[in-house]
């Protein structure tokens, strides 16, 4: 367990002034909500939301061997990335389970690797232990901040404060530019299912950009906490490490087979994943929609004809899915087929549900 005292991002006092409710998350004291989770969710789907994601660990990688080295530790392509591309990837263990899911950003002279806050210590130790050849690692935590602007009006909100033409930026690419006057990397990436940007900048510039964005876009841009972020990502069918993806749940089980490149000559866990794919008998993540309103939570049992078929991994009420109660579940393969009728056990009572394909929500 992490014995360190909780850390604060550069924006901690700003969050407090805005009336945020603060909770421990990934070793940091982070805002879970400001005005309310549902109001913030609505802002991101219809207008724009502003998130402080400075708790996420930013590692910088340099050296001639970074690409080949990282390709051997992850399921997706790294060396094939071009400068200013971003790519989702997963570090796997020998059994094919996930150490972490991450994003690589390739820059002309270096790489930026964004790691889940809760996995920061584990991943730093792992990368250090696995380091080979010309690979230099630096931990940018504490030095750099990360703000996200997400929602259909993100371009309108962020563009006036960024030197580069971000309207022209393609999805999953980035640019080195200035934001709010500070050197920054602006990427068209996110975790909400909406258009949007993530801005990496020096920690001491994060407050200035945050304040400038909110001051200039009052009524359009809402500060959003981790509570809204979780509902948004769940509706969009995006995995959350520790829920849909773990050291035990492989990328194939999580429905992330698209990111697993078996054409790569080698990567840690490849043999195990090939065997898992060939047998095709593994429990897998699927979406569930409840008939009724009762929320489902991680750990609840899922039943099929009275027998355990799996368990809920995440759940929420979904404003963008008709306010229905939705969840992800790790299910036996037969139960994971869309249209299967199942039950979720909530406080001893079985509530009917139907398996659906992910995502629950796709932007129009």
Site for another protein, rule CB under 8 A: 21, 32-33, 36-38, 227, 231, 293-295, 297, 316-317, 325, 347
Q: Which residue lies nearer to another protein by CB, 256 or 317?
A: 317
As measured in angstroms, the least distance from the Cβ of 363 to another protein is 21
As measured in angstroms, the least distance from the Cβ of 342 to another protein is 19
Q: In 3D, which of 93, 89, 99, 138 has the Cα closest to residue 122?
A: 99
Q: What is the DSSP letter of 74?
A: B
Query: How buried is residue 105: exposed, middle or buried, by Cβ count under 10 Å (0-12/13-18/19+)?
Result: buried
Query: How buried is residue 172: exposed, middle or buried, by Cβ count under 10 Å (0-12/13-18/19+)?
Result: middle
Q: Which residue lies nearer to another protein by CB, 145 or 343?
A: 343
Q: Which residue lies nearer to another protein by CB, 38 or 214?
A: 38
Q: Which residue lies nearer to another protein by CB, 264 or 297?
A: 297
Q: Which residue lies nearer to another protein by CB, 234 or 259?
A: 234
Q: Are 61 and 110 in contact (CB under 8 A)?
A: yes
Q: Which residue lies nearer to another protein by CB, 21 or 121?
A: 21
Q: Which residue lies nearer to another protein by CB, 86 or 222?
A: 222
As measured in angstroms, the least distance from the Cβ of 323 to another protein is 8
Give me the residue label for tokens 């969710």: 41
Helix (H, G, I), strand (E, B) or coil at 208: helix
As a residue count, the chain comes to: 364
> What is the CA angle 121-126-128, rounded to 5?
95
Q: Are 249 and 98 in contact (CB under 8 A)?
A: yes
As measured in angstroms, the least distance from the Cβ of 233 to another protein is 13
Which regions of the chain does DSSP assign to beta strands (E)? 21-25, 28-33, 48-52, 57-62, 86-92, 98-107, 110-115, 136-139, 144-150, 174-179, 182-187, 196-202, 221-223, 284-290, 301-304, 307-318, 324-331, 341-346, 349-356
As measured in angstroms, the least distance from the Cβ of 316 to another protein is 6
As measured in angstroms, the least distance from the Cβ of 255 to another protein is 24
Q: Which residue lies nearer to another protein by CB, 192 or 325?
A: 325
As measured in angstroms, the least distance from the Cβ of 230 to another protein is 8
CA separation for the pair 243, 240 (Å, rounded)? 6
As measured in angstroms, the least distance from the Cβ of 344 to another protein is 13
As measured in angstroms, the least distance from the Cβ of 345 to another protein is 14
Could you tell me how far CA 149 lies from the centroid of its own chain?
14
Q: Which residue lies nearer to another protein by CB, 36 or 352?
A: 36
As measured in angstroms, the least distance from the Cβ of 36 to another protein is 5
Distances in Å between the Cα of 200 and the Cα atoms of 49, 103, 216, 329, 352 are 16, 13, 20, 33, 44
307-322 per-residue burial string, b: 16 or more CB within 10 A, e: under 16: eebbbbbbbbbbbbbe
* Cross-strand partners of 85: 173
Q: Which residue lies nearer to another protein by CB, 102 or 231?
A: 231
Distances in Å between the Cα of 353 and the Cα atoms of 239, 293, 317, 327 are 20, 11, 14, 10
């Amino acid at each position: 367990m992490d014995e360190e005292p909780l850390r604060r991002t550069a924006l901690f006092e700003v969050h407090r002034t805005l009336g945020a409710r603060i909770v421990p998350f990934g070793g940091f004291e982070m805002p879970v909500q400001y005005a309310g989770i549902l109001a913030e969710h609505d802002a991101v789907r219809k207008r724009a939301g502003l998130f402080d994601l400075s708790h996420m660990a930013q590692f910088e990688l340099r050296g001639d061997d970074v690409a080949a080295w990282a390709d051997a530790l992850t399921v997706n392509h790294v060396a094939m990335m071009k400068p200013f591309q971003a790519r989702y990837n997963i570090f796997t263990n020998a059994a094919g389970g996930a150490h972490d899911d991450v994003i690589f950003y390739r820059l002309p002279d270096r790489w930026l690797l964004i790691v889940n806050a809760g996995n920061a210590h584990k991943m730093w130790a792992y990368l250090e232990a696995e380091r080979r050849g010309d690979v230099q690692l630096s931990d940018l935590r504490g030095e750099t901040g990360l703000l996200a602007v997400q929602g259909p009006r993100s371009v309108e909100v962020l563009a006036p404060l960024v030197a580069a033409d971000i309207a022209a930026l393609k999805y999953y690419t980035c640019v080195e530019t200035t934001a709010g006057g500070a050197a920054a990397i602006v990427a068209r990436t996110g975790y909400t299912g909406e258009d949007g940007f993530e801005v990496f900048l020096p920690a001491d510039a994060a407050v200035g950009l945050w304040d400038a964005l909110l001051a200039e876009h009052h009524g359009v841009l809402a500060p959003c906490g981790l509570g809204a972020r979780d509902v948004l990502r769940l509706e969009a069918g995006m995995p959350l490490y520790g829920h849909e993806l773990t050291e035990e749940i492989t990328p194939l089980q999580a429905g992330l087979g698209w990111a697993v490149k078996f054409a790569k000559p080698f990567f840690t866990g490849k043999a195990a994943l090939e065997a898992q794919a060939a047998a095709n008998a593994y429990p897998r993540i699927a979406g569930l929609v409840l008939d009724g309103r009762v929320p489902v939570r991680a750990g609840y049992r899922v039943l099929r004809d009275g027998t355990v078929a799996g368990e809920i991994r995440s759940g929420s009420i979904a404003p963008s899915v008709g306010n229905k109660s939705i969840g992800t579940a790790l299910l036996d393969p037969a139960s994971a087929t869309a249209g299967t009728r199942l039950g979720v056990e909530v406080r001893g009572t079985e509530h009917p549900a139907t398996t659906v394909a992910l995502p629950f929500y796709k932007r129009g």
